[in-house]
Amino acid sequence: MASHLSTFCKFPFLFLLFSPSLANFLTSTSTPTGTTESFCNSTPYPYFCKSFLLPFNKSGNIHDYSRISIRQTLSHGRKFLSLVKYLLKLNPTSFSSTTVLALQDCQFLAQLNVDSLSYTLGLINSTNTLPSLQAVDLQTLLSATLTNLQTCLDGVQASKSGSTSLSSLLAPISNGTKHCSVSLAFFTHGWINSGKKKGRILSERKHVFSDIKNGIKDGLPLKMSNKDQEIYESFNKRKLLQTTGITSVKLLQTTGITSVLVNQMVVVSKKLGIGNFTSINDAVSAAPNNTANTGSGYFVIYVVKGVYQEYVSIPSNKQNIMIIGDGIGKTVITGNRSVIDGWTTFNSATFAVVGQGFVAVNITFRNTAGAIKHQAVAVRNGADMSAFYRCSFEGYQDTLYAHSLRQFYRDCEIYGTIDYIFGNAAVVFQNCKISSRLPLNFQYNTITAQGRTDPNQNTGISIQNCSIKAAKDLATSNVTIRTYLGRPWKEYSRTIFMESYIASLIDPTGWAPWSGDFALSTLYYAEFNNSGVGSKTANRVTWSGYHLINATEAANFTVSNFTQGDVWLPATGISFTGGLLSTIS
């Protein structure tokens, strides 16, 4: 604390920039009341909470204090964003290229936080009641604000810059994290716990992509305009069933399954003169901005078979984009950025998405940097209510960065070595093939590294009905490699393997520590009803945070309960199991 304060005081304007300015707006309602002391004691940072809520040390209700806290968190977030922008405007020679990239990550993430906090405050500013699903939406956004700050901090620390200017970020990041944590605690106590309802346990739902095996040539179950029908047929070389001016594949007519609405369709092809674009990024740029209403349909980008060497980014203002390829190994998006080559983990991704409602179908995503280049991400996903279907993710360390918010992966293939499924999303992997590759000498494999940092975050990794096996290079190797289900990247790491096949490659202890006894008592690792040699639990770790759970506990981590997927996944057309397999008749 002393070192942070001394650094902070070297920049007087920074001290003024982050000095709180409070306004009293407590209201009187029938909600149970309390004092600053009583409410703050229920947060992870009671002393910090009391310090900034001291002017309000009077009787109030949890909703009042939640609004005050989020207002202060938003104010701090705006000031932090201004500070990062200021640092980026300094003489470029003041920082290394890696440091500049870390600052750019922080700017991007800080803006996401300002947007999320503004949206949250706008919804709760004048009400103490929210529909239960909307309350979970906001809890998800508040959980992500903590993840974003932690990602910023990780990048700054990894840049190893000795710059005094960069060190000035540490105290604001620390205080911002505490602000976000207190706000999340208040919100969870006021809007989630008080109105929490048991989620529905749903059986298997068959949706409109269920029978597609070979991409667009098998016919896509999409409803589209006559114009887009012509585009479709020019590549598909077959006629579609025409009904009342709307194109619909016959599959939909015969099964009665609701189709996925297409607002517009464009084609990307490597060959000049074929399709609308030769670049995926150009196609993304052509999509309309802020199309948050799925009722208006998806902006579909059909990417013709080929290898696309580009770094694709789908920003937050490009919502409800669906990218469809010709199949795994046929439509390939590839890159080779890595931490060793000077990129941050966050920005090493070949494909990055934050636009809400994103869907990918029949695509391979690769990072070809190789094991020797350490962290090298194929896909970074921070898009709420996003889904990947029949896609593959190929890399080594840190292949798939499930960064934040709610995500779903179905019938996918994930390949890697160390921490190759990581991040702090609320994510379910279902019916996926998870394959560990051969790592470098003296390394061991860890499938997951979940990054939950706060006990009130509604995040974690749930792996259901998947197969956990060795990839070909590992399976045929003469070297003995230890492989673990996961290790705790952050203090409240949460990962569940359930109803999955776990092969013999998994070490009998199951899980690996991160460093010493870090997080072993605060993590939540669980297994339920798995099969295979590697699923035997007799010799599993004895950490207090490790659990063998029953069906009631496992149901908390299903698609329906953990991601509210039964509400938003039907619009994607992707099959999913809402509950446990044992509930399916």
Annotated catalytic residues are 419
**Of 71, 111, 79, 99, whose CA–CA distance to 155 is shortest?**
99
Q: Terminal CA-to-CA distance of the chain, rounded, Å? A: 58
Q: What are 389's strand-pairing partners?
A: 361, 410
- Give the pair of three-digit tokens for residue 256: 């009665």
Backbone angles phi, psi at 323, to 5 degrees: -110, 125
Q: How far apart are CA 71 and CA 206, in angstroms?
A: 43
**Containing H/E element for 85?**
helix 62-88
Backbone angles phi, psi at 65, to 5 degrees: -65, -30
> With contact defined as beta carbons under 8 Å apart, do 304 and 326 qualify?
yes
**Containing H/E element for 413?**
strand 413-416
Q: Which alpha helices (H) appear in 159-307, and where do they start and end?
A: 164-167, 170-187, 226-236, 250-255, 280-286
CA dihedral 101, 107, 108, 111 (to 10 degrees): 180
CA dihedral 77, 78, 82, 83 (to 10 degrees): -30
3-state SS assignment for residue 64: helix
- Give the pair of three-digit tokens for residue 454: 């706060």
Task: Write down the residue that tokens 């992707």 correspond to.
Answer: 574
Which 3-state string (H, E, C) describes 520-535?
CCCCEEEEECCECHHH
Ranges of beta strands (E only) in 471-570 are 483-486, 494-498, 501-502, 524-528, 546-548
Neighbours of 290 (CB within 10 A): 12
What is the per-residue burial (b if ≥16 Cβ within 10 Å, else e) of 294-327?
A: beebbbbbbbbbbebeebbbbebebbbbbbbbbb
